[in-house]
Amino acid sequence: MEIQERLDLIKQVGEEIISEEELIELLKTKKEIIAYDGFEPSGRIHIAQGLLRAINVNKLTKAGIKMRMWVADWFAMLNNKMGGDLEKIKIVGEYFIEVWKACGMNLENVEFIWASDYIKKHPEYWETVLKLSMNSTIKRVMRCGQIMGREENTNNPSAQILYPLMQASDIYNLKADIAQLGMDQRKVNMLARDLFPKLGLKPPIAVHHHMLMGLKEPKTNEKGIEGAIAKKMSKSDPNSAVFMTDTEEEINKKFKKAYCPEGEINDNPVLEYCKYIIFELKEKIIIERPEKWGGNMELNSYQELEDAFVKKEIHPLDLKNAAAKSINELLMPVRDHFEKNKRAKELLEKVNSFSVTR
């Protein structure tokens, strides 16, 4: 594959790339390029963590990049996920991996690395953490608290200081050329880019993917990165997110309640699902409606759909019904896997039994 083709695939993943010039040079000069993405195992997995992550990983591996998926179990414990119970966190991590297997993530060039196992085997990891801490201020590190889903607050656990430094250390210890994380993790990637040169290390290229909106009406008018983070879906609000094993009935119910203002494309979560998930995995979407309302309508690209919606040729309810049907079809293989595979079924039952899902 030509460099431009590889670059185009990566740019489909990266809503922001820091910097594109460095990425082009990397594609030209390095044969084996490694990208890392980390995730905290924390409760049920929603569609942004599941299908959207699989879509992004498949594009990167198609571009010839090797993915190292960091199962951040110790980080989830630091962030008090699952009540800080490491055994529960590990079960949730196994469940996450099972979801990706079922939803079509190409695992040929994907390596899953458990943080707890790796760090125990590599004590030099802590030397990197210490050196990073010596070259940054408490104030600078505290500004990264957002990566834990927390606001900057001196009353927060001291883990809020340790966590960003460890995450920056991950990049170096995993030998990652690219830190491929969501826009909500931008601050720690910028921390790494600032600190690495002070330690004589090459800073990572940051490829930040889009944060899929929650289905409910946004409660903020913020713009840019902060606004996108504020509007992202939240698993703490079940009506905000579609989960990877939701039933058809649950999916229909959530889309029926979804925010979808007529003719509006900005901050419209239903259109986001169409753009970032449905048209990535399906060639078309069909709007089903009675003849008196124009009859069925077949859209063969997201742009075609958006144009028709802006012109108010598609009613929001019809769009929501069509999106719900497409999402249900895409999640059917995952539901089937967790119903028929004994190990997967046991994992899901355990995850559903855990009361703490933050």
pLDDT interval class at 239 (50, 70, 90): confident
Per-domain boundaries in the chain: 3-209, 224-353
Note the pLDDT of residue 350. Answer: 95
| DSSP SS3 for 1 | coil
DSSP bridge partners of 38: 70
Note the pLDDT of residue 356. Answer: 44
pLDDT interval class at 252 (50, 70, 90): very high
DSSP bridge partners of 68: 36, 111
- Hunting for tokens 């299908």 — which residue is that? 51
Q: How far apart are CA 287 and CA 319, in angstroms?
A: 6
| DSSP SS3 for 84 | helix
Mean pLDDT value of segment 122-129:
97
The CA R_g of the chain, rounded to the nearest whole Å, is: 21
The secondary element (H helix, E strand) that includes residue 95 is: helix 86-102
Asked, colleague to colleague, whether 3-209 and 224-353 share their fold, the answer is no
The secondary element (H helix, E strand) that includes residue 297 is: strand 297-299
Looking at the domain that runs over 3-209, which CATH code has it been given?
3.40.50.620
- Hunting for tokens 């990535």 — which residue is that? 280
CB 8 within 8 A of CB 20: no
In this structure, CATH architecture of domain 224-353:
Orthogonal Bundle (1.10)
pLDDT, the chain, mean:
91
Could you tell me how far CA 276 lies from the centroid of its own chain? 12
Tell me the per-residue pLDDT of 153-201, one tens digit each, with 9 for 90 and over: 566 667 788 999 999 999 999 999 999 999 999 999 999 999 999 999 9
pLDDT interval class at 224 (50, 70, 90): low
Q: How far apart are CA 115 and CA 127, in angstroms?
A: 16
Q: Which residue has the higher pLDDT, 142 or 251?
A: 251
- Hunting for tokens 């670059």 — which residue is that? 7
Note the pLDDT of residue 318. Answer: 96
Tell me the per-residue pLDDT of 63-99, one tens digit each, with 9 for 90 and over: 999 999 999 999 999 988 998 999 999 999 999 999 9
Q: How far apart are CA 262 and CA 255, in angstroms?
A: 15
Taking residue 352's Cβ as centre, other Cβ atoms within 10 Å add up to: 12
Note the pLDDT of residue 146. Answer: 62
The burial of 304, by beta-carbon neighbours within 10 Å (0-12 exposed, 13-18 middle, 19 or more buried), is given as middle
Q: How far apart are CA 53 and CA 211, in angstroms?
A: 11
H helices within 258-341, ranges in order? Answer: 269-273, 279-281, 302-310, 316-340
Note the pLDDT of residue 158. Answer: 75
121: pLDDT strictly greater than 90: yes
203: pLDDT strictly greater than 80: yes
238: pLDDT strictly greater than 80: no
